Amino acid sequence: MKTTRNYYFDNAKVILIFLVVFGHFIRSFIENDPYVLALYKTLYTFHMPAFIIVSGFFAKGFHKKGYIPKLFKKLILPYLLFQVIYSIYYYFLYNRNSLTIDIYDPQWSLWFLLSLFCWNILLYLFVRKWNLTRNNALFIAFAVGIAIGFIDSISNYLSLSRTFVLFPLFLLGYYLKKEHFTMLRSNKVRIASAVIPAAVFIFMISVPEFSDKWLLGSKSYEQLGGKDIFSPLSRSGVYLLNIIMAFSFFSFVPKSRHFFTKWGASTLYVYLIHGFFVKFFRESPYTDLLPPIQSIFLLTAASFILTILLSSRPLTSLTQPLIELKTSKLSRLLNDLKNNKKKYTEDMKY
């Protein structure tokens, strides 16, 4: 039985993965232009938080039999495989003296796979095992996310920092219902949502000392400038900013089907593969050829094209054995090509 996909969430995921690719591309220019830096920080206030909220929303079936083993196959096995692939790729790209493969230290964007698996485990503990009420669960999750910043030893190792810091957003997504997203699309909310991103962008320009590292969730307070009484307040402010900006984004996501909606089913492919292109770009001489502002327009187009290509049926069919560890898409593609060839041959007879 074929499952009907929700166009709204497919649209949201496509737009968000495009912004993730775009954000990674413009990272090369944030040191030289304050406006690009402000744009970069503005994007990071909501694109991954919104992705995490959506992921939590779709984790409502975590209690079903076989959910965790299925999730292990979907997330951890690709994580291990791409951890090896990226390690080999970086070995050649950066001309390193030795090849090191450390499965405990996620390569760049692979942290999301590891954290997503852990968020589902934490969700099971909070909701099923400990049977916490919604308010208590959210309070504890946010409290842990704030407190974890005081532990200097928790960082990128096994993506522990991001796992605990960003789990409250995943948990929030789990508790959201479709009606909440419908409410966000009201005219009053949209009017406010249209102003908020512009205000955040202006804030980022006006307060350049606000570090983008606060938005990553991977650093301890000591790494962010020192532990003091204001550190928990700063992280609380970041949480509030994440939620407001994510909800502002959701208020403008179209709910009907568009030409890009179908790519919403392939965002994991884009997420895992686009890093090869972004890392190659960062090592290329292109970053010195054009001023940052001009490059923004070119990189917008490049990000859009790359998102399309990595979401395309031929590429997802070829890479499915690596990402989903199966070949169903490739088999269907080959069968379609075979049938089209057969049909073309029969038509030529007439």
- Averaged pLDDT for residues 146-171: 94
pLDDT of 294 > 60? The answer is yes
Long-range contacts made by residues 101-104, C-beta under 8 angstroms, separation at least 24? 104/157, 104/158
What pLDDT does 341 receive? 57
- Average pLDDT in the chain: 92
What pLDDT does 163 receive? 97
How many Å apart are CA 4 and CA 84, to the nearest integer? Answer: 35
- Averaged pLDDT for residues 192-206: 96
- Averaged pLDDT for residues 109-114: 96
What pLDDT does 344 receive? 45
Question: Which range (53-62, 97-106, 295-304, 329-338) has the least confidence?
Answer: 329-338
pLDDT bracket for residue 291 (50, 70, 90):
confident
Which range, 25-34, 48-57, 64-73, 99-108, has the best average confidence (pLDDT)? 48-57
Q: Cα separations (Å) of 272 from 4, 11, 15, 78?
A: 25, 19, 16, 9
- Averaged pLDDT for residues 171-200: 95
What pLDDT does 330 receive? 77
Percentage of the chain lying above the pLDDT 90 cut = 79
pLDDT of 331 > 70? The answer is yes
What pLDDT does 56 receive? 98
How many Å apart are CA 307 and CA 300, to the nearest integer? Answer: 11
Question: Which range (81-85, 134-138, 310-314, 345-349) has the least confidence?
Answer: 345-349
pLDDT of 350 > 70? The answer is no
Percentage of the chain lying above the pLDDT 70 cut = 95
What pLDDT does 295 receive? 86
- Averaged pLDDT for residues 105-128: 95
What pLDDT does 332 receive? 83
